[in-house]
Structure 1
Amino acid sequence: MSSSNKADKPLPFLFHFIAGGIAGVSEILVMYPLDVVKTRFQLQVNTNTGGEKYTSVLDCLRKIVKNEGRLYRGILPPILVEAPKRAIKFSSNEQYSTILKKIYGVDKMSQQLSIASGVCAGSTEALAIVPFELVKIRLQDKESAGKYSGTLDALTKIIKNEGPFALYNGLESTIWRHATWNGGYFGVIFNVRRILPKPTSKQQNLMNNFIAGGIGGTVGTILNTPFDVVKTRIQNDSGAVRKYNWTLPALKTVAVEEGIGALYKGFVPKVLRLGPGGGILLVVFDQVSTWMRKYLI
């Protein structure tokens, strides 16, 4: 088989799983501290009632290091879910792309179909990660620092005190979050790749992928941050009477009580992570996939 044909050949699911897992773990190891900062800002409802106050990304990072000494608190759940999560993201996106092309009777993807396949892939991805996200959010919240000693302890206490179905609190908002991010991500990647000059070297291909993934990650973050804010609130609420339950009513509650701007709490650390993080994801996934096509299939 020629190298050009190999480059176009779809990867089997197992290879997607491995490539997506490597890409996801690489991204999270580099960018995770910004995810902790994002969560702290999203849970900061009223800074006039006492407790830790964060005024900027650097201020939050500094206070976490000084007072807690742990920038990677709660990283085990996302590490455990990254391989299947990213495998689902990329492999299901390819599967949905194939299905949509057949439905519309076309041979090539368009931006509209790329957005649709991304939304479908994001919804599928969300179903797999809700329990991991919930445990991660509980561990990242400073108020839970003395409540849970680690991932297994948090998981055990949540099930014991709130019931096993509590692990799926925030499922609906997680679907909203991932559908909008993936739709924006893959839709923008399609368009940016089309606009950028065709790569003539490996280095230029890496740069094009990083630029496309970075812009895609930024647009996806702009679209999904309000859903991420309410997802964080829903998953961190362990009270008997819940203030936040469903996505759209929760969006209204946050906007009315805290202002429209509150729907973008944590946006700066989030976009600082998922902008470059989206580039890292695409670059690593493409490089691992290329290596697999060259040597394994």
Structure 2
Amino acid sequence: MSNEKSLPFIYQFLSGAIAGVSEILVMYPLDVVKTRVQLQVGKGSDGEAYNGMLDCFQKIVKNEGFGRLYRGITAPILMEAPKRATKFAANDEWGKVYRKAFGATQMNQPLSILTGATAGATEAFVVVPFELVKIRLQDKVSGSLYKSPLDCAIKIVRNEGILAIYNGLEVTLWRHILWNAGYFGVIFKVRELMPKAETPSGQTMNDLIAGTIGGTAGTILNTPSDVVKSRIQNTIRVNGVVPKYNWAWPSIFLVAKEEGFGALYKGFVPKVLRLGPGGGILLVVFTACMDFFRSIQ
């Protein structure tokens, strides 16, 4: 990510982990609202309709209590360290591989997009079990079936089989490939276009702007796959029964056919509010951590 000297993998991993946990602590309630809106079909499975982000937020607080906005946060907290660490570390490591493979001395935008996509695929394998547990706990109906993230994971394995913990892997791959390709590709271009910062605070502002724009671009690209991922992972598997939502692209076409194209962007506002500024937070904290580790080398 930085033009300065690269650091060993462990420092990239730690920086990504710290950045990820910082982002989730600030932005998690928006993720709960996003998931609730995405899972809603018609009036929702419990008869309660959410008319947008603010209405969903208000109804959760009024009917279920403020603490519900942090329901299931243990799984994301446990996930964020390996997830974000993998994102940034894999991006840096794959960047080295591709620069060598294509004989490039420096990164360019096509390589940034390719590197981001590959890092996203790498990240997806790490996060699927955590995402599955998080989605089940965030939903109002299915969330009542589980006492804790551990109880949720145990019941999924016991009732649906050991492989069920990786339900939604294929759609998660698409979600992370698209987001990371957009995020890192756009960050590279925005940094290239922005004037060079002369002060640390100026660099922080540049990173915040670049990360926010990159996070917004990634969100626009991957929201349809995120909508169907929520539905695929919230479906309890039953032997001999083919789920309504099963694979990424058939599910995307099904949602568009039954609910209209706009349904593929359900939850977009809270999602972009989280991952736009959230992408900025990630980049700022990651860069600050990397700079700190360079200073003590």
Kindly state the Cα deviation for residue 261 of structure 1 after the two structures are TM-superposed: 0.8
Structure 1 counterpart of 2:36 = 40
Structure 1 counterpart of 2:93 = 95
Which ranges of structure 2 fall in alignment gaps of 5 or more residues? none
Structure 2 counterpart of 1:130 = 128
Structure 2 counterpart of 1:52 = 48
Structure 1 counterpart of 2:217 = 219
- What stretches of structure 1 move > 4 A for 4+ residues in a row? none
Structure 2 counterpart of 1:268 = 269
| Match for residue 164 of structure 1 among 162, 165, 176 | 162
Kindly state the Cα deviation for residue 57 of structure 1 after the two structures are TM-superposed: 1.3
Q: Secondary structure at the match of 2:70?
A: coil
Describe the superposition over 1:78-113 as per-residue Cα deviations: whole angstroms up to 9, x where unpaired: 100111111111111111111111111110111010
Kindly state the Cα deviation for residue 153 of structure 1 after the two structures are TM-superposed: 1.1
Kindly state the Cα deviation for residue 50 of structure 1 after the two structures are TM-superposed: 5.8
CA distance in 2, matches of 1:291, 1:31: 24
Structure 1 counterpart of 2:294 = 293
User: Does the alignment pair 1:86 with 2:80?
Assistant: no
CA distance in 2, matches of 1:7, 1:182: 19
Q: Secondary structure at the match of 2:7?
A: coil
Q: Using a 3 Å threshold, how does the CA distance of structure 1 residues 139 and 49 change in structure 2: closer, same or farther?
A: closer
Kindly state the Cα deviation for residue 145 of structure 1 after the two structures are TM-superposed: 3.3
TM alignment of 1:193-232, pairs within 5 A: 193-232=191-230
Which ranges of structure 1 fall in alignment gaps of 5 or more residues? 1-5
Q: Secondary structure at the match of 1:23?
A: helix
Q: Secondary structure at the match of 2:72?
A: coil
Q: Secondary structure at the match of 2:288?
A: helix
CA RMSD in angstroms comes to 1.3
Describe the superposition over 1:213-234 as per-residue Cα deviations: whole angstroms up to 9, x where unpaired: 0000000000000010111111
Structure 2 counterpart of 1:258 = 259
CA contact (8 A) 1:185 1:219 kept: yes
Describe the superposition over 1:52-101 as per-residue Cα deviations: whole angstroms up to 9, x where unpaired: 11112111111111111111001111100111111111111111111111
CA distance in 1, matches of 2:103, 2:190: 24
Identity of aligned residues (%): 62
Structure 2 counterpart of 1:10 = 6
Amino acid at match of 1:256: K
CA distance in 2, matches of 1:220, 1:131: 22
TM-score (norm 2): 0.95
Amino acid at match of 1:257: E
Kindly state the Cα deviation for residue 46 of structure 1 after the two structures are TM-superposed: 1.2
CA distance in 2, matches of 1:49, 1:176: 27
**Aligned residue pairs: how many?**
291
Kindly state the Cα deviation for residue 48 of structure 1 after the two structures are TM-superposed: 7.6
Structure 1 counterpart of 2:189 = 191
CA distance in 1, matches of 2:277, 2:15: 18
CA distance in 2, matches of 1:171, 1:200: 43
User: Does the alignment pair 1:245 with 2:246?
Assistant: yes
